[in-house]
Amino acid sequence: MGQITKKYFVLCILFIFPIVIYLFFASGKNNFALLPVLTENINDIKNLKTLSGDPIQLEDKISILGFWGEDLSQKKGDALNLNQKIYKRFYQFNDFQFVMLVEDGHQAQVNFLKQELQEGVGTDLVKWRFVFCSPNEIQELFDSLRTNLNLSPGKSSPYVFIIDKEINLRGRDDDEDVGTLYGFNSQSVAEINNKMVDDVKVILAEYRRAWKKYNQD
């Protein structure tokens, strides 16, 4: 082996090999990351009704679940944040949906809010599901999440939650700010950008991998 060849070999060992090792482990981390299950088997919503009257369920869906109760006048900003940062980015994925629980009797306000969203940002809201129920039904579903959060007297919350196809609550059990992160504050663009976008990516990738493996098998 000549001097020049030896020199290039040493350079490869010193510079290229570490890069290859880094890319291998980085790729492995991204490909096999899972979003922790924080609460198993929350309540489903099969017996509730939507604005359109279509059937609705959490099972076999990847859902962004929110609780708007009777406080719809306070939700336009939340809706715009979620629509721009999450919905528009991911709504074309199969089985992905937004589910917002609203107190029965507020159908007209929901229609007005949907019209504002469609006219203001031009988004197809086909996967926004507005579910109408009693205050007790809203509270029961929220309680089944078993979080450290609370609903307002109007049965609403600024927080939204990631629910997987097995009706489990997903989130973070090692968040750098709060430890266990059950939900995401839809009033905070920073939290949506810095945390929620990443977590939605992770759970969608998890199901894509499972689907590919199923097809291969």
| 17-73 per-position pLDDT tens digit | 555 444 444 443 334 578 999 999 999 998 888 877 888 999 999 999 999 999 888
Query: Is the Cβ–Cβ distance between 43 and 133 less than 8 Å?
Result: no
- Calculate the CA 125 to chain-centre distance: 16
User: CB burial class (10 A; 0-12, 13-18, 19+) of residue 101?
Assistant: buried
Residue 164 has pLDDT above 50, yes or no: yes
| 174-208 per-position pLDDT tens digit | 999 999 999 999 999 999 999 999 999 999 999 88
Average pLDDT score over residue span 119-143: 89
CA distance 102 to 155: 9
pLDDT at 80: 92
pLDDT at 139: 97
- Output the CA angle 114-106-52, nearest 5 degrees: 55
Residue 115 has pLDDT above 70, yes or no: yes
pLDDT at 124: 77
According to CATH, what is the number of the domain 37-216?
3.40.30.10
The total of other beta-carbon atoms located within 10 Å of residue 17's CB is 10
